[in-house]
Amino acid sequence: MNENLHVKSRSALSSYRASFQGAFNSKSFNDPQQANIKQVILQDYRRWQGVRYLWGGDSQYGIDCSAFTRRVLGELSVNLPRTTSEQIHSGNHIAKQQLKIGDLVFFKTSPETRHVGVYVGSGQFIHASKSMGVTTSRLDDQYWENRYETSVRVI
């Protein structure tokens, strides 16, 4: 790998991580329930962060997107089904503009495949990514924005 590209990637990643942490550390919540939900999600995210993606996986050795959302929201006593095709029907569909922390966000990544993550506020969601493992991404990233399908409120 070109060293300049590697340094630029690390710099961009550090900047992105700082913005993500800023979203989690925000004190601007008027709703104590939302602040509590965010705190629980953040604690669980830190336990899973960096775990590799494994289709069908449900452990620290590897996890897929629907198992990750099930584990994270399970910490909030939300009992989700195992697959994305079941999770998409497990709550009330909401508009993207109505997203609250803890909502599920769904993406159509191919004609046959869905992806799911958990919204964490400030336009960001956490998920088990095929390329990066458990990570955070932005809804307005062109890749995710172009593939956004729907959101579901389960809390």
* Catalytic residue list: 65, 115, 127
Helix, strand or coil for residue 91? coil
The alpha-helical segments, DSSP class H, found in the chain are 3-25, 32-48, 65-74, 84-87, 142-147
Burial 75-93 (b: 16+ CB within 10 A, else e): eeebebeebbeebbebbee
The amino acid at 35: A
